[in-house]
Chain A
């Protein structure tokens, strides 16, 4: 039995992680096609319209990228802790509390008349600190009290959303916001603008940079290497003298900070104030993006664009084919279920071995 040639091994390393998502994607296309066929629509027409609504024109591309940009950041909230073997699902709460902290800081800074860039930096820092603290709490409770981080991050997220609603309707409510309780709006001059030449705000660039930094940290630094050792075997990591607890707090904190930054961008570039709309499910979709990207920080980028595109095409499906907008949620659900079932498939390189045997 001779050793595998190195080039084939490298190819297998690249293809193997793609096998399950691709199989899941194919199964999803088939199942959702069946679903819309049962609803009396032509599946080919549905997919053609989805491609058109997501990527058919510059206009739809911009819509897609707008929807993708918060997902880049909320996905990191799940994907970064996942490097250490933690399953965090509190991104929605970190996003929301980040948005709330950002508007509180931003209004205070704007009131004393600081330049826009200073206001925005203060908002970003406040958002990241609030989101980071929320999720870091889940990491700390996991390490020092043995509390399951999935459940605690879910509970923390619900608490954060309640706090946001309470503050927006109570202490920070703008008396002028009558039927939709909101905080005071940021002055127009302090809002985050669009990237020149596009109708997409700078949040997209920040999201891309965050994914890139997360990848560099996790794959190219000693810290990231150590974190992934903890993910592989936390007992061995402790034996090797790694400060597991501190690392958990840092990595969960960074994940929460990413989602908190997403909330800050939602407030400063999209809503202009904080209101109940900032809890619009970006955190939940971010979990899906992270799992679909197999927790790889760079893979988050194409997956977020794909899911953003699916979301962007919902309107077109509704207008042309009278499909309810929830069809997009059904598609996401099928995709997620298929992907997890696909995890059970053996790696692609083993299929061939099985066939040749």
Chain B
């Protein structure tokens, strides 16, 4: 089959490539948020963390010439934001949702402020693996140029799933999330466990943000994020707090985002915005169907404020 005769096949191939690309930030942010929510806290500020990660990752990669140092720096900035969220939430009478919105505004503002000088320069980008080497069709090769961070996320998903179910740490996080009183009775401090879980969530969101500025679209500007940080919070609920389902949901959400541009390439131009909003609609539908006024969402951590 030659490239010219692909015809409508260009759409699924482009969607596959696009889904891998678009899903990577979703995957990282949602795996991080999953751990935070498993500990019984929700961090709505990840949009701010994501944009801070994008800015700082780009800045460090630009200054040092190493994209991986940029990823690390983005993660560390995320840890700082996570620690800030956890610290404020550990005070009495403080609502974790409101703190999230506050940190979202703060993170976006700070990133735009500090990122002003970074709008022009180019930074080294993250490598991609040519997994389409077996094909001579350029579209297939392009679609299977899989970025390195996606592979990291792909490997990390089952590890996290196993660790949450089988390790001591996973057990502690889940126990704190299901009943902080039980955790306290066993001598664990819920505040400290949630601090670590929120820092981890921040780290992952920062890394997810660095993907935006260091791989795709691969530069820093103020319109970089289209709300991936907020969508990822919904995605965790959509995936019912299951890491493997998070991976699938990220691909699905990414595919929905990639469908619009892919259709545009074959001449269908309407409906892009609605396709991008499809994940929100699906999440809402799942919430409506799986909740009830009498019991909580199946699979939700017991201490989580948004499902109480």
Contact = CB atoms under 8 A, between A and B. Distances in A.
A349 interface: no
A87 B97 contact: yes
Contact of B95 (A87, A145, A147, A163): A87
Contacts of B111: 326
A156 interface: yes
A209 interface: no
Contact of B98 (A87, A170, A284): A87
B66 interface: no
B102 A336 contact: yes
Given A332-B105, A333-B102, A336-B106, A141 B113 contact: no
Interface in B257-289: 270-274, 276-277, 280-281, 283-284, 287-288
Contacts of B291: 145-147
Contact of A144 (B94, B102, B293, B307): B293
Contact of A333 (B105, B116, B271, B274): B105
Given A151-B306, A337-B99, A337-B103, A162 B277 contact: yes
A317 to B, nearest CB: 11
A344 B103 contact: no
A97 to B, nearest CB: 12
A326 B109 contact: yes
A34 interface: no
A284 B105 contact: yes
A331 B106 CA distance: 8
A166 B271 contact: yes
Contacts of A336: 101-102, 105-106
Kindly state the interface size class of chain B when it binds its partner.
Answer: 35 or more
Contact of A344 (B84, B92, B109, B295): B92
B98 A291 contact: yes
A60 interface: no
A330 B113 contact: yes
Interface in B214-238: 227, 230-231, 233-234, 237
B88 A340 contact: yes
A200 to B, nearest CB: 26
Nearest to B271: A166
A287 B97 CA distance: 12
Contacts of B271: 166
Contacts of A341: 88, 91, 94
Given A146-B294, A166-B271, A341-B88, A158 B99 contact: no
Contact of A343 (B93, B113, B233, B281): B93
Contacts of A165: 273
A328 interface: yes
A344 B109 CA distance: 25
Contacts of A324: 112-113, 116
Interface in B27-71: 44, 48
Given A151-B234, A151-B287, A159 B109 contact: no
B110 interface: yes
Given A340-B102, A341-B94, A145 B288 contact: yes
A218 B26 CA distance: 41
Contacts of A166: 270-274
B295 to A, nearest CB: 8
Contacts of A330: 106, 109-110, 113
A5 B124 CA distance: 70
A102 interface: no
Contacts of B306: 148, 150-151
B98 A146 contact: no
Contacts of A145: 287-288, 291-293
Interface in A311-357: 324, 326-334, 336-337, 339-341, 343-344
B80 interface: no
Contact of A326 (B48, B97, B101, B112): B112
Which 8 residue pairs spanning A and B have beta carbons closest together? A333-B106, A329-B109, A162-B277, A326-B112, A336-B102, A344-B91, A326-B113, A330-B109
Interface of B: 44, 48, 84, 88, 91-95, 97-99, 101-103, 105-113, 116, 227, 230-231, 233-234, 237, 270-274, 276-277, 280-281, 283-284, 287-288, 291-296, 306-308
Given A150-B306, A326-B116, 10 more contacts: A144-B293, A155-B234, A155-B284, A156-B280, A158-B280, A287-B101, A326-B109, A326-B112, A329-B105, A329-B110
